[in-house]
């Protein structure tokens, strides 16, 4: 029996979708960015070569700061040479609460407007006490960032969608933080994996969503509240479980500012071109 190349099949799918969807206006017209964590295993092998590959894909934005094997100054120089901007950086929850001035300095060095926090420390289960502490910490840190011209965004991770009151723990965070001090970055895959509907949640909180992570999850993987799944379950956008046409309609409607592909899979080099072809092929 002839062996089937799965990545090749996915690429053909994306190209076929783009070709068949040429009627109508393009649905996704935004600049495409990438989350630096996607290349966590590649950067140690050569930062410049990775950035050259990113540029060759037409990616013009990156979320994140310098990898460990290069200084911030040299990394920014390499980014500038390739016309890759950094509109958003990530910050550890502990650092943003204990030393927000250090985060502000780092964000301004890279020219970022947004600072995102991707994980709230908690035990095996995310609880209302964790959510209440996060509300206090985000309101405090977000005020300091705002006073320095920056916007704090919390990046949801799936575990926040456990039930609470008439909604979820994520609803509690959203409804008890000051919109002037905290906005959000939706990780579309983690939102879905946590049991929420990404498009509906985008509409629910509207302009508080500023950024998104574009990613998809393998078909057949059940949702849960762990905030984790095997990295092999990260799929090229449009080839997994998520209804991306509806999601992109929602991101357009609420005015998302920046879109970052985050592909944690070891197959990201093959999958990212598929994701881009799929997004550019979407039509209204």
Q: What is the mean pLDDT of residues 270-276?
A: 98
Query: Could you tell me the domains of the chain?
Result: 27-281 (3.20.20.150)
- pLDDT value, residue 96: 97
Quote the CA–CA distance of 238 and 276 in Å, as a whole number: 10
The string of DSSP letters for 47-69 reads HHHHHHHHHHTT--EEES---TT
Q: What is the pLDDT of residues 201-243, one digit of tens each?
A: 999 999 999 999 999 999 999 999 999 999 999 999 999 999 9
Q: What is the pLDDT of residues 17-57, one digit of tens each?
A: 544 445 689 999 999 999 999 999 999 999 999 999 999 99
Does the structure show a pLDDT above 70 at 12? no
Quote the CA–CA distance of 36 and 61 in Å, as a whole number: 10
Q: What is the pLDDT of residues 105-154, one digit of tens each?
A: 999 999 999 999 999 999 999 999 999 999 999 999 999 999 999 999 99
Q: Which two tokens stand for residue 231?
A: 């990295």
Q: What is the pLDDT of residues 88-107, one digit of tens each?
A: 999 999 999 999 999 999 99
- pLDDT value, residue 2: 38
pTM of the shown model: 0.92
Please provide residue 82's backbone torsions phi and psi, each rounded to the nearest 5 degrees: -105, 5
- pLDDT value, residue 19: 46
- pLDDT value, residue 25: 94
Does the structure show a pLDDT above 80 at 85? yes
Q: What percent of the chain is helix, strand and coil (3-state, nearest 5)?
A: 50, 15, 35
Q: What is the mean pLDDT of residues 151-178?
A: 98
Quote the CA–CA distance of 87 and 90 in Å, as a whole number: 11
- pLDDT value, residue 22: 55
Residues 276 and 239 sit within 8 Å (Cβ to Cβ): no
Q: How confident is residue 3, by pLDDT bands cut at 50, 70 and 90?
A: very low
- pLDDT value, residue 16: 52
Q: Residue ranges of the alpha helices (H) in the chain? A: 6-20, 47-56, 72-81, 93-98, 100-110, 128-147, 169-176, 188-193, 198-205, 244-254, 268-281
Between β-strands 209-214 and 183-187, what pairing exists: parallel, antiparallel or unpaired? parallel
């Amino acid at each position: 029996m002839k062996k089937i190349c799965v990545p090749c099949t996915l690429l053909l799918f994306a190209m076929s979708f783009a070709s068949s969807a040429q009627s109508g206006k393009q649905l996704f017209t935004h600049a495409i960015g990438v989350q630096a964590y996607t290349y966590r295993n590649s950067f140690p092998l050569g930062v410049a070569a990775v950035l050259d590959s990113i540029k060759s894909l037409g990616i013009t934005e990156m979320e994140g700061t310098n990898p460990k094997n290069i200084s911030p100054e040299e990394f920014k120089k390499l980014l500038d040479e390739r016309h890759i901007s950094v509109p958003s950086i990530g910050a550890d929850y502990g650092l943003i609460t204990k030393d927000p001035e250090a985060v502000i300095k780092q964000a301004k060095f890279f020219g970022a407007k947004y600072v995102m926090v991707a994980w709230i420390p908690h035990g095996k289960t995310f609880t209302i006490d964790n959510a209440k502490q996060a509300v206090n910490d985000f309101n405090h840190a977000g005020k300091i960032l705002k006073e320095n011209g920056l916007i704090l965004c919390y990046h949801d991770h799936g575990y926040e969608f456990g039930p609470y009151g008439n909604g979820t723990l994520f609803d509690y965070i959203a409804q008890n933080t000051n919109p002037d001090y905290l906005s959000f970055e939706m990780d579309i895959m983690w939102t879905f994996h946590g049991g929420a509907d990404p498009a509906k949640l985008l509409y629910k909180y509207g302009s508080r969503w500023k950024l998104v992570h574009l990613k998809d999850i393998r078909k057949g993987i059940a949702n849960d509240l762990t905030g984790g799944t095997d990295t092999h379950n990260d799929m090229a956008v449009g080839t997994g479980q998520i209804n991306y046409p509806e999601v992109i309609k929602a991101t357009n409607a609420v005015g998302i500012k920046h879109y970052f592909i985050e592909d944690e899979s070891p197959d990201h080099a093959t999958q990212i071109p598929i994701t881009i072809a799929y997004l550019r092929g979407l039509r209204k």
